[in-house]
Amino acid sequence: MEEEKLMSRKKPSYPINNQLYAYLTEYNRNIKIPIFYDDLLRFAGGIAVYDKNGEDSLWIRVYYSDHERDEIDLSLKRMYIILHGDGSEESISFLNVDAIDYCTFGNSKPFRVKIRNILNDNHTYIYIKKADASRVYGLELEHILSPNNINFLVYKDTLIEEHVLGVPGDSFIDENLKYMSASGKKRLSKEFVKFNERCVIRLLGDMRAYNYVIVASYDFDQVEYRIRAMDFDQQSYEGNLKVYFPQYFKENYPFVKMVSDNLQKESVEQYKKEERSAIARRFRGAHTRINSLLDCMSNDAISTPEKVNQLKMDLVKYTNDKNFKKCKTMGDILKVGFDFVVRNYENVNTYIIR
């Protein structure tokens, strides 16, 4: 299917409403920060950043006038300490802002800030974006329901995210996939099936290969793989159910083929069930927090009525659960979807216990 038909041309940015701000404050996500996204837009100029192959990375390295740079650097170092520490400035003299990059590609147009510890030369990145309700919901759902915790902060109209470590999926396909062992491909195939299932259950769309990373973990006798989303712009927005399946994007075809070559149909179904059960357990373990988040989503408009209607009818066909027909918002749809997953998990476990 052509991607122009699969997805909308451009997703609008949705403001964070008072109920969501209250939620973020309760769970220590809404914390005063020393610099805003708009402050970083006042750069004096920039130069293109190229990747290791000499290709344009679509990022530009920006610079600021002398009278602003010191203040911006200090504010960014303070922001890093708030995100990764307790806010104490004891270590601020050991930090250096090596680079500030700006990306004009995509919806979020983020700034990427490279922070280096001058004592040991280790560095990491933080990302600063315009706060968008869809992205905040996506980050929270990732934190609660996936195997991966994720750290972020929101203050007024600015969003700060930690860097997600890993090899971008498109780079992994081009540079690593062909060198993997047969057993490694089987383990990554298992993870792609689980990632695919996780995305559709929590309605995270647009997981093309450059929107997630591959993380390798070394065990004593093998390498395990995990796929982590790193772009949450398309959380619960599109009406076409296929948008929420990574398998339907052409950029992911090498992984889809890898699954078909390495896993039998029975194994695929087994891994889907394992992922549904894992999500159901995480939901049960954090039900107060996630129900509070879903209440915010149910009272929020993060998509159009037309897309909500299309998606709920697609889900009725996919699950045979007519409860989706009653949904009026994307939050309502997620509530019914999670209820569907949890109910099936409880039925299976009740049978096992008996």
Alpha carbon separation from 84 to 24, 100, 163 (Å, rounded): 17, 18, 11
Beta strands in 18-92 (DSSP E): 45-50, 56-63
Which residues does 53 contact at the CB level (< 8 Å), separation at least 6? none
* Digit-coded pLDDT (tens) for 178-192: 999 999 999 999 999
For tokens 């989303």, what's the residue? Answer: 229
Name the residue type at position 60.
I
**Neighbouring C-beta atoms of residue 9, cutoff 10 Å:** 5
1 or 239: which leads in pLDDT = 239
Which residues does 132 contact at the CB level (< 8 Å), separation at least 6? 13, 14, 16, 107, 108, 159, 233
Q: What average pLDDT does range 268-295 have in this prediction?
A: 96
* Digit-coded pLDDT (tens) for 282-341: 999 999 999 999 999 999 999 999 999 999 999 999 999 999 999 999 999 999 999 999
- Write out the H or E segment, with its range, that includes residue 40: helix 37-40
Q: Phi then psi for 115, rounded to 5 degrees? A: -110, 125
52 or 273: which leads in pLDDT = 273
Q: What average pLDDT does range 9-21 have in this prediction?
A: 91
* Domains in the chain with CATH codes: 12-162 (no CATH), 167-353 (1.10.1070)
Q: Which two tokens stand for residue 53?
A: 């192959």
| Predicted structure pTM score | 0.92
CA atoms within 13 A on the CB side of 175: 9
- Range 180-215 burial, b when 16+ CB lie within 10 A, else e: beeebbbbbbbbbbbbbbbbbbbbbbbbbbbbbbbb
Residue 128's nearest CA partner among 66, 80, 65, 175 is 80
- Measured CA to CA, the distance from residue 38 to residue 100 in angstroms comes to 14
What does the CA dihedral 229, 234, 236, 240 come to, rounded to 10 degrees? -110
- Measured CA to CA, the distance from residue 35 to residue 82 in angstroms comes to 12
Strand partners, 214: 167, 227
CA atoms within 13 A on the CB side of 213: 12
What confidence score (pLDDT) does residue 220 get?
80
* Digit-coded pLDDT (tens) for 146-177: 999 999 999 999 999 999 999 999 999 999 99
* Digit-coded pLDDT (tens) for 212-267: 999 999 888 888 999 999 999 999 999 999 999 999 999 999 999 999 999 999 99
What confidence score (pLDDT) does residue 7 get?
73
Question: By mean pLDDT, which of 75-89, 197-211, 258-272 is the weakest?
Answer: 75-89
Alpha carbon separation from 205 to 3, 83, 244, 266 (Å, rounded): 12, 26, 4, 26
Task: Return the CA Rg of the chain.
Answer: 21
* Digit-coded pLDDT (tens) for 45-83: 999 999 888 888 889 999 999 989 999 999 999 999 999
What confidence score (pLDDT) does residue 352 get?
36
